[in-house]
């Protein structure tokens, strides 16, 4: 009984510490998880076999399907979500960038905050082992976040939280400590398919299945080809880095979402006032300076120009 009470207290302390660090959603999952983790792993296998990962070879990493390879002796996962929604609109809107990339690189921000949680854990349990994972790690991050109860995976494959919608970036703290798990989240999408209907390229081929080959986010950020396929560029609208269409139409994002006060997630001035004419005149050096410390620095200057020129085929929308 004493051991259980100790685990309950430690679990509560860790979650409280995570909230103190500024995370908006926090939950705990037990390893190896419920049968849902196995189902999500099998779904990933089918997705890969269908070639939906396009040129993103790293999605094939075998470690992604076995959390034990990331931390030997892992017993629990602390999943966290950070709200990145900022209640402001860009001007003049002739070029659009996905909201998650408006501020500084969220990977570093999440790592910094989770490291403080991990240090707290070390003080409580000096012999424990831990590992921090963000979405660049070979982990089924959305599946484990769902298992920890901080949201459910929507039909557009984004994690949705009933209070802050899908405007969340995720992080995980793997731990060798046996913590008290929260109830896994249950899907509240019901029969809604607005995200599927709104996707201009029909990338969401069926509920929960996004074909990257037809996704604007993939083509504007990951595609290294000199030219974006014509069937994609015709439907790009003004999106030059990522795409928020499937999130914008989600009913869970229609209510009043709290605007993030996190300083590092506030939009850069150049993003708020981005226009086509000026952006095409920027040199490589100017692009690199503006993207310094951004999650979008992986987009090379020539790719920005490629993306911007691709939007000129439709006109302003």
Say what the pLDDT of residue 2 is: 61
* Dihedral sign computed on CA atoms, order 174, 175, 178, 181: negative
CB contact at 8 A, 275 and 94:
yes
CB contact at 8 A, 122 and 173:
no
Beta bridge partners, 169, equal 82
- Tokens 């987009």 -> residue: 299
Which residue, among 182, 183, 211, 206, has the nearest Cα to 196 in the 3D structure? 206
Q: What percent of the chain has pLDDT over 70?
A: 97
Question: What is the value of pTM for the model shown?
Answer: 0.94
Q: pLDDT tens digits for 239-287?
A: 999 999 999 999 999 989 999 999 999 999 999 999 999 999 999 999 9
Both tokens of 156, joined, read: 């557009």
What is the rounded average pLDDT of the residues 147-152? 98
Say what the pLDDT of residue 14 is: 98
Tell me: cis bond preceding 312? Omega within 30 of 0 counts. Answer: no
Q: pLDDT tens digits for 167-198?
A: 999 999 999 999 999 999 999 999 999 999 99
Distance CA 63, CA 136 (A): 13
Residue 317 has pLDDT above 80, yes or no: no
What is the rounded average pLDDT of the residues 151-178? 97
Residue 115 has pLDDT above 90, yes or no: yes
Q: What percent of the chain has pLDDT over 90?
A: 89
Tell me: cis bond preceding 70? Omega within 30 of 0 counts. Answer: no
Q: Which of 231 and 316 is assigned the larger pLDDT?
A: 231
From residue 240, give the alpha-carbon distance in Å to each of 25, 58, 70, 258, 310: 30, 23, 34, 26, 8
Distance CA 63, CA 65 (A): 5
From residue 92, give the alpha-carbon distance in Å to each of 27, 96, 244: 39, 9, 17
Query: Which range is least confidently modeled, 79-83, 154-158, 297-301?
Result: 297-301
* Dihedral sign computed on CA atoms, order 152, 144, 99, 241: negative
Half-sphere exposure of 89 (CA within 13 A, CB side): 5
Kindly report the average pLDDT of the chain as a whole number. 94
Catalytic residues: 135
The listed CATH number (1.10.101, 3.40.1350, 1.10.287, 3.40.109) that belongs to domain 2-86+103-175: 3.40.109
Residue 291 has pLDDT above 90, yes or no: yes
From residue 19, give the alpha-carbon distance in Å to each of 25, 81, 234, 299: 8, 10, 43, 32
CB contact at 8 A, 292 and 212:
no
Which residue, among 153, 240, 156, has the nearest Cα to 196 in the 3D structure? 156
Q: Which residues contact 149 (CB under 8 A, 6 or more apart)?
A: 27, 29, 182, 183, 184, 185
DSSP output for 133-190: EETTSSS-HHHHHHHTTS-EE-TTS-EEBTTTBT-EEEEEEEESS--PPPPPP----T
Half-sphere exposure of 187 (CA within 13 A, CB side): 15
Say what the pLDDT of residue 315 is: 44
**Domain definitions of the chain by residue range:** 2-86+103-175, 194-311
């Amino acid at each position: 009984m004493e051991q259980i009470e100790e685990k309950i207290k430690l679990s509560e302390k860790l979650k409280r510490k995570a909230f103190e660090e500024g995370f908006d959603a926090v939950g705990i999952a037990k390893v190896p998880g419920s049968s849902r983790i196995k189902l999500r792993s099998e779904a990933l296998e089918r997705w890969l076999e269908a070639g939906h990962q396009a040129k993103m070879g790293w999605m094939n990493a075998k470690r992604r399907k076995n959390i034990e390879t990331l931390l030997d002796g892992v017993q629990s996962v602390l999943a966290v979500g950070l709200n990145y929604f900022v209640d402001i609109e860009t001007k003049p809107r002739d070029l659009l960038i996905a909201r998650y990339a408006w501020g500084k690189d969220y990977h570093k921000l999440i790592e910094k905050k989770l490291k403080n949680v991990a240090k707290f854990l070390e003080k409580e349990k000096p012999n424990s082992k831990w590992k921090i994972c963000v979405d660049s790690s070979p982990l089924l991050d959305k599946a484990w976040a769902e298992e920890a109860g901080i949201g459910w995976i929507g039909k557009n494959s984004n994690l949705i939280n009933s209070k802050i919608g899908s405007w969340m970036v995720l992080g995980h703290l793997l731990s060798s400590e046996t913590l008290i798990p929260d109830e896994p989240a249950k899907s509240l999408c019901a029969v809604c398919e607005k995200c599927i209907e709104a996707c201009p390229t029909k990338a969401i081929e069926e509920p929960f299945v996004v074909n990257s080959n037809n996704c604007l986010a993939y083509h504007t950020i990951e595609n290294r080809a000199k030219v974006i396929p014509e069937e994609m560029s015709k439907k790009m609208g003004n999106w030059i880095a990522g795409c928020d269409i499937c999130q914008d139409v989600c009913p869970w994002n229609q209510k009043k979402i709290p605007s993030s006060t996190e300083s590092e997630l506030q939009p850069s001035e150049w993003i708020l006032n981005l226009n086509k004419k000026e952006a095409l005149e920027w040199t490589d050096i100017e692009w690199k300076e503006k993207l310094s410390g951004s999650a979008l620095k992986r987009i090379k200057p020539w790719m920005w120009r490629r993306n911007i020129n691709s939007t000129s085929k439709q006109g302003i929308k």
